[in-house]
Chain A
């Protein structure tokens, strides 16, 4: 598997099943979301690690 530093891929949803725009507002993975929220609350990320600037 190779990564490419190129433009984002993908196409906008234009119809079909499942309806992405209808489902978008629904949490399809509530257990995983709850687990992730618990991790976030318990283990906040130290600000100094969030550099977010390119080298």
Chain B
């Protein structure tokens, strides 16, 4: 199998997405939600769907051995959201400092390609900056270039 990301489905209004992580712990349903913060800004959050709870736990360390594919899928979902909601921005950070750092690494690795289509800002010490590689931001904001 040579896929880079999972197939995903989306809700009628393109605000909630799901896909199935397939790994050493089995099949785990992931949900990605874009929650409105204000007129043009949404928060991105994702976590594991728990059928028994009927809810989500975004602090779970799934450890399903497919982190790269999961994050690649979330990137694809973010692209779909921004394409389906022109003029909107996505704000996101990790549940932990380690996860935020992981997102930073992914943006660093893919910056040249991502920056062709998207504008990335980072929050550092209370101020927003244009994203620069190898700077450890606390929060990110991404918009599709018009």
> A: which residues have CB within 8 A of B?
1-5, 7-14, 17-18, 20-21, 23-24, 27-29, 32-33, 35-37, 39-40, 42-43, 45-46, 49-55
Contacts and interface: CB of A to CB of B under 8 A. Distances in A.
- Indicate the size class of the contact surface on chain B: 35 or more
A8 B80 contact: yes
A28 B119 contact: no
B80 A32 contact: no
Contact of A33 (B45, B55, B84): B45
B43 A45 contact: no
Contact of A50 (B33, B80, B143): B143
7 contacts: A1-B71, A5-B117, A7-B83, A18-B51, A28-B55, A49-B128, A53-B146
Contacts of B128: 43, 45-46, 49
A45 B130 CA distance: 11
A49 B119 CA distance: 9
A interface: dominant SS: loop
Interface of B: 4-5, 7-13, 15-18, 29, 31, 33, 35, 37-38, 41, 43, 45, 47, 49, 51, 55-56, 58, 68, 71-72, 75-77, 79-80, 83-84, 87, 91-93, 95, 106, 109-110, 113-114, 116-117, 119, 121, 123, 126-130, 139, 141, 143-146
A52 B91 contact: no
